Amino acid sequence: MKMYIRGYHWPHILFFSASPIISIVSVSWLVAHGGPHWATWILAVVLLFATGMGTTAGYHRLFSHKSYQAKWAVRLLYLLFGGAAFEGSARWWACQHRIHHHHIDTGQDPYGINKGFWHAHIGWLFVQDQEPPNFDNIKDLDQDPLVRLQDRFYAPLAILIGFGLPTAIAALWGDPWGGFFVAGVTRMVFNHHATFCINSLCHYIGNRPYSDQHSARDSWIAALVTYGEGYHNFHHEFAYDYRNGIRFYQWDPTKWLINVLSWFKLAHHLRQASQEHILAARLEMDQKRAVGRLAHYSESVRYKTHEVLITTRTQLQQTFARLQKLKKEYTKVKRAQLHTFTESMGKTLEEKRLELQRAKQEFDMIMARWQQLISGPELVGGLP
C-alpha cells in the first residue's frame, strides 16, 4: 500500500474559515442598517433548497450512486445548482464519495469518522495528498458530456450561479448586497455544513437498525439538517436505493423531489431495495442484539434462545414473502377488473382479499412474537 505525504490545503483552509466570518459580519452589518429586504430572505431559502437538492438528489443519489436516471435538463440543473454549493465538481465529489463507501471506516476513507468528528466534518478538506486523485471509479460519469463540461468550467459556473444569480435577482428590489451576502455567502455556508453533517453527524448519532458493520447511523435529527440524508445506516446498507427514509413519515425531501420528477417523466428507473432484503437486514440486527444481551447466561440457555430466534425469524421471512406475493396477485386482479368485470373475477378478487388479510394477520402475530423474543431476558419464556 502506498503511503502519501499529506500537506495542508491552504486554499480550502482560507475559504472554509473566511466564509463563515464574512457571513456573520456582513449579515450583522446589513441588519444593523435596516436590511436585508424580506424578499432576499425568501430568495436565500429558495436557493438553499435548490443548491441542497443539487447536492443530495444530484451529486449524491444520481451521480454517485446511480439510484435513478434523469433527463438531461434535470441533470443540467443539478450540475448548475449543485456546483453553486461550492463543494467541488460533480466528478470530483462522486469520486471521493465512492471511495468513502468502498473504504468506509478505514484509513483510505477520505472523511472517515474513525479519524475523529472534526476530521469527518471538515478537517479532511484541510489536508491533501501529494498525489493527484485517481478517477478510475467514475468512468461511467465521464461518459456524460454535461458532467465533463461542469468539471471543466466548475469555478466560473459556481461563481455565476452561487453569487452572481442571487445578486442580480435581489437587485430587482434594490438589495444587491443582501443578495450577495445573504442568498450567496450565508446560504453557501449553511449548505456546506448541512452536507458536512452527512459525513460527521450521520456517523455519530442515532442507531444502526440494518447493520453494525459500519459507523453509519439512522437519526431523524440528522435527517432534518441534511435534506433527508440522516437515515444513513439504511443508505450505507442499500446505497443503490433512491430513498434514505423508507417510511412515508420519515423526513426525506430529496426522495420526495425524485418522486415528483418521476411523476412528470423527468426521472425514471428509480431503484429500491426489496422489502424482503430490508426485513432480513433488520431481523439479523435484532437477533444479534438479542443474543448479545444474553452473554451472561449459560451456554444451554443461549443455545435454546438462538434456536427459537432462528425458527421465528424463518417463519417471519417466509410469511412476509408470501404476503408480498399475495399483494402482487391482488393488485393484478384488481387492475384487470377495472378493464373487464365478470362475476367470477369479482369472486376471485374477494378470495384474494381474504387470503391477503389472513396472511397479514399471521405476519402481525409472528412479528408480535418476535418483538417479545428480542425485548428482554425472558426470550424463551421465563429464563432464570
Task: Show me where the domains of the chain are located.
Answer: 6-268, 275-375
Q: What is the pLDDT of residues 49-108, one digit of tens each?
A: 999 999 999 999 999 999 999 999 999 999 999 999 999 999 999 999 999 999 999 988
The residues pairing with 287 across neighbouring beta strands, listed in sequence order, are: none
| Amino acid, res. 97 | H
Dist. CA 224–CA 163, nearest whole Å: 26
Q: What is the pLDDT of residues 129-183, one digit of tens each?
A: 656 678 899 999 999 999 999 999 999 999 999 999 999 999 999 999 999 999 9
| Amino acid, res. 81 | F
Say how many C-beta atoms besides its own lie within 10 A of residue 2's C-beta: 5
Q: List the alpha helices (DSSP H) in 38-164.
A: 38-53, 72-83, 90-102, 117-121, 145-152, 154-159
Locate 200 and state its grid cell.
460527521
CA distances 357 to 35, 45, 352, Å, are 61, 46, 8
Say how many C-beta atoms besides its own lie within 10 A of residue 73's C-beta: 10
pLDDT of the residue at 362: 94
* CB-neighbour burial class of residue 272 (10 A; exposed 0-12, middle 13-18, buried 19+): middle
Nearest one of 195, 103, 85, 232 to 150, comparing CA atoms: 85
Residues of the chain with pLDDT under 50: 1-5, 382-384
| Amino acid, res. 228 | G
Dist. CA 290–CA 293, nearest whole Å: 5
pLDDT of the residue at 2: 44
Nearest one of 251, 271, 228 to 70, comparing CA atoms: 271
Length of the chain: 384
pLDDT of the residue at 337: 67
Nearest one of 60, 61, 100, 58 to 75, comparing CA atoms: 58
pTM tops 0.85, yes or no: yes
Dist. CA 196–CA 207, nearest whole Å: 19
pLDDT of the residue at 285: 94
pLDDT of the residue at 307: 87
